[in-house]
Amino acid sequence: MIIETRNLTKIYGEKIGCEKICLSVDEGRIFGFLGPNGAGKSTFVKMLVGLIKPTSGTATLLGTPIGDVFTRRRVGFLPENFRYQDWLTGRELLQYHAALAHVPKEMRSQRIGEVLRLVKLEGAARSKIKTYSKGMQQRIGIAAALISDPDLLFLDEPTSALDPIGRLDVREIIAGLKERKKTVFLNSHLLSEVEMTCDEVAIIKDGRIIESGTIDDLLKGKVEVEIKATGLNGSLDKQISQIGRLISDDGTELLVELEGEDKIPILVSLIIRNGGKLYNLSRKKRTLEELFLGVIKGGGS
């Protein structure tokens, strides 16, 4: 496991930052930590990279307990609210970060060139950071996080200041890291971003994880089907309740929630056996958005 936490908890005075978080992230995974603002995402990541100390619980990064300075050579971090020494040029900032990250001297300029290309800032490398737009500052931040070619990268809301094209670029950077078997931990309140980039998600609310798993797993499970049929008789309702739940019924159009995909053929045969004429059956794709909103509103299931 690249990241493993056990009951990791942070309490700020009386306020809960995050509570009893148990997570594990495997090598090469792109992990999305999804939750509304104030859910505790930044708190969790700050504990892992050593900015704040957990109130209780334990965690390991790359097999060593958090707080180990040596391990941080293999970890990159893009903070959420950051400012860089804006009187430096982009290249100078990266030189500084390369030195801090112990990138060997003879490799620095090559590595700086690589990350500048990756974040598409080659043209601005000689300009002072204070002349950068918000989006460019975010990019130089990503470059600084990647300077040591880390095996594990934490990104805290990396696209908050970026336009749609910038977001696409970040997705491409992440995809590139995935190809090279790097692990990425992405904090985001944007569902679409997590859905498009991540293999796994945990949804956090009020400091607690309420759902987690691969996106496929989360979307698997319950399915909704829409049925258009005539000639249905009343006994169908009762039979449906054995394989799922009738959500709505206006005589010819039914909305049914089934316990799983495998119940769809059973539903069809039930309709036929009851003398119904099936005109249409469509499976409604359950999106992560519905899941997310359901979880956030319901406060857990």
Ligand X SMILES: Nc1ncnc2c1ncn2[C@@H]1O[C@H](COP(=O)(O)OP(=O)(O)O)[C@@H](O)[C@H]1O
Binding site for another protein (CB under 8 A): 12, 43, 46, 49-53, 69-73, 75-79, 81-85, 87, 96-97, 99-102, 141, 144-145, 154
42 binds Mg ion (CB under 5 A): yes
Q: How many CB atoms lie within 10 A of CB 61?
A: 27
Looking at 10-18, 33-41, 221-229, 280-288, which segment touches Mg ion (CB under 5 A)?
33-41
Residue 185's binding partner out of Mg ion, another protein, ligand X, none, with CB under 5 to 8 Å set by partner kind: none
40 binds ligand X (CB under 6 A): yes
Give the nearer residue to another protein in terms of CB position, either 79 or 213: 79
3-state secondary structure of 301: coil
38 binds ligand X (CB under 6 A): yes
Contact at 8 Å (CB) between 122 and 143?
no
Smallest CA-to-CA distance from 75 within 166, 150, 149 is with 150
42 binds ligand X (CB under 6 A): yes
Task: Give the DSSP letter string of 177-211.
Answer: HHHTT-EEEEEES-HHHHHHH-SEEEEEETTEEEE
Smallest CA-to-CA distance from 158 within 187, 130, 199 is with 187
Tokens 């078997």 -> residue: 181
39 binds ligand X (CB under 6 A): yes
Identify the helix (H) or strand (E) that includes residue 94: helix 90-100
Task: Give the DSSP letter string of 47-65.
Answer: HHHTSS--SEEEEEETTEE
Smallest CA-to-CA distance from 271 within 226, 301, 204 is with 226
Give the nearer residue to another protein in terms of CB position, either 75 or 236: 75
Instruction: List binders of Mg ion among 72-111 (CB under 5 A).
Output: 80
Smallest CA-to-CA distance from 210 within 42, 35, 3, 89 is with 35
Give the nearer residue to Mg ion in terms of CB position, either 132 or 154: 154
Pick the binder of ligand X from 8, 32, 35, 89 (CB under 6 A).
35
Residue 39's binding partner out of another protein, ligand X, Mg ion, none, with CB under 5 to 8 Å set by partner kind: ligand X
Q: How many CB atoms lie within 10 A of CB 295?
A: 20
Give the nearer residue to ligand X in terms of CB position, either 206 or 257: 206
Give me the least distance between CB of 153 and another protein, in Å please: 11
Paired with 184 in beta bridges are 30, 153
Give the nearer residue to ligand X in terms of CB position, either 36 or 294: 36
Pick the binder of ligand X from 2, 19, 21, 43 (CB under 6 A).
43
Give me the least distance between CB of 41 and ligand X, in Å please: 3
Residues of this chain that interact with ligand X (CB under 6 A) are: 12, 15, 17, 35, 37-43
Task: Kindly list the residues in this chain that would bind Mg ion in the complex (CB under 5 A).
Answer: 41-42, 80
